[in-house]
Amino acid sequence: MADKKARLTVDGLEEVIELPVYSGTEGPDVIDVRPLTSSGLFTYDPGFVSTAACESKITYIDGANGILLHGGYPIEQLAEHSDYLEVCYLLLNGELPTPEQKETFINTIKNHTMVHEQMRNFFNGFRRDAHPMAIMVGVVGALSAFYHDSLDINDAHHREVCAYRLIAKMPTIAAMCYKYSIGQPFMYPKNGLDYAENFLQMMFGNPCEEYVANPIIAKAMDRIFLLHADHEQNASTSTVRLAGSSGANPFACISSGIAALWGPAHGGANEAVLTMLEEIGDESNIDEFILRAKDPDDNFRLMGFGHRVYRNFDPRAKVMKQTCDEVLAELNISDPLLKIAKRLEQIALEDEYFVKRKLYPNVDFYSGIILKAIGIPTNMFTVIFALSRTIGWISHWSEFHSSPNKIGRPRQLYTGSKKRDYPTK
């Protein structure tokens, strides 16, 4: 119920329009603008900078203070004490699992990791040098063709089965994309391994010898999955919610999220950061790129910097930076790109252009360096992001369908031609 009201007066309108104002448990109040329609008015908010598109209980971001909560738990504490599958359970259910619930959840996921054998044929239709995100969009969408037994989106159990299948199969499909690109045989999942170890063996193992993941690398991989798990109503999650609002098949909805994530302004930024660092090539070139980033006539932007919501450090970037140092130390790697990244961060954080606009490193700034150190090729970085974010997408999709909902259908400010007749001779 609204506990406050907003009153709107509009030139040319006699009536004062009263709009309900709602308060959440955290964050800004929201003005319910639905009554505007009866006054013949729309709101106008390209890019949804000031629009709450839905009510949600899953994740909360305080951009001004660099706070990210999943089910109320700060991301820093989850990164230190939890693991990816436990956070998957938290995002899906709103509570951390008991030890028994966690064991049951993990075992359920382990028993859904294989994909239908026919799915291997989809890969043969792609060129070996196809971008793995193009393959992911196609193959994940194709899951719609295989699972007809649990697609009643209004059935909570069916929604749960879809979530389990997606959490379990995304690492398998992601690793298949990589293996296909290098001409190596697909590796089957091994249920005796934990989630990150299993992914690494499917990526880097081969049928000729036993693969044992470095535990430090496996932990870093799990933390990367965890840090990317969910992030409120970002572009790809909003895409999944909108696709879901039409009643579309959940696998097709996740495929739409993968497509939206691919853009360099969103999940494609981790790949773009590495490309940018390699283009900078040496610390002596940093100033030139900073100038380009500040030039309004140059569409170059500092990849890995800035965020629509965070006007402070992205808390995930801080954890990612610490993980980066751990992984490079463990692997005894001194990556020159890391030196460039740290120098770039230092310069940008002192530069008035970035300070004034509150442009800080985001989650993508350091993740690429860790993934490169682990041996994952640059074009697989966004695939890793998609794998990680699947739990966020399916949790929001499920939340949307768990209460009465409407198809999403925004309106517009029309500035095209007025009505006119077709010219007849």
- Contacts with ligand SDX, residue ranges (CB under 6 A): 231, 234, 265-267, 269, 293, 296, 301-309, 357, 359, 362-364
Rounded to a whole number of angstroms, the minimum distance from the CB of residue 369 to ligand SDX is 14
Q: Given the complex with ligand SDX, which of 106 and 229 has the nearer CB atom?
A: 229
- Of 66 and 306, the one with the shorter C-beta distance to ligand SDX is 306
CA 145 to chain centre: 24
Question: Could you confirm whether 266 is annotated as catalytic?
Answer: yes
Give the residue at shortest CB distance from ligand SDX. Answer: 306
Query: Does the active-site annotation cover 307?
Result: yes
Which two tokens mark 64? 């001004």
Q: CB–CB of 361/18 below 8 Å?
A: no
Q: How far is CA 404 from CA 23, 71, 152, 368, 399, in A?
A: 20, 22, 15, 40, 10
Between 132 and 392, name the residue whose CB sits nearer to ligand SDX. Answer: 392
Give the nearest distance from C-beta 289 to ligand SDX in angstroms.
Answer: 10
- Pair of tokens at residue 395: 């949790």
The conformational region for residue 52 under phi > 0 = left, psi -120 to 50 = alpha, else beta, is: beta
Residue in the block written with tokens 């697909």 = 186
Cβ closest to ligand SDX, residue 307 vs residue 321: 307
Backbone angles phi and psi of 99, in degrees to 5: -55, -40
Indicate the residue among 48 and 146 with the shorter CB distance to ligand SDX: 48
Q: Of 82 and 201, which has the nearer Cβ to ligand SDX?
A: 82
Q: At what angle do helices 235-244 and 381-401 cross, to 10 degrees?
A: 40
Catalytic residue among 70, 228, 307, 396: 307
Closest contact distance (angstroms) between CB of 300 and ligand SDX is 8
- Exactly one of 222, 230, 314, 364 is catalytic; name it: 364
User: Which residue in the list 32, 62, 194, 266 is annotated as catalytic?
Assistant: 266
CB of 204 to ligand SDX, least distance (A): 26
- Closest contact distance (angstroms) between CB of 314 and ligand SDX is 7
What whole-number distance in Å separates Cα of residue 268 and Cα of residue 380?
10
The residue among 46 and 404 lying less far from ligand SDX, judged by its C-beta, is 46
Q: Least distance from C-beta 156 to ligand SDX, angstroms?
A: 26
CB of 404 to ligand SDX, least distance (A): 27
The reply to whether 3 belongs to the active site is no
8 Å CB contact between 88 and 167: yes
At a CB cut-off of 8 Å and minimum separation 6, what does 262 contact?
133, 137, 268, 382
Q: Please give the positions annotated as active site.
A: 266, 307, 364
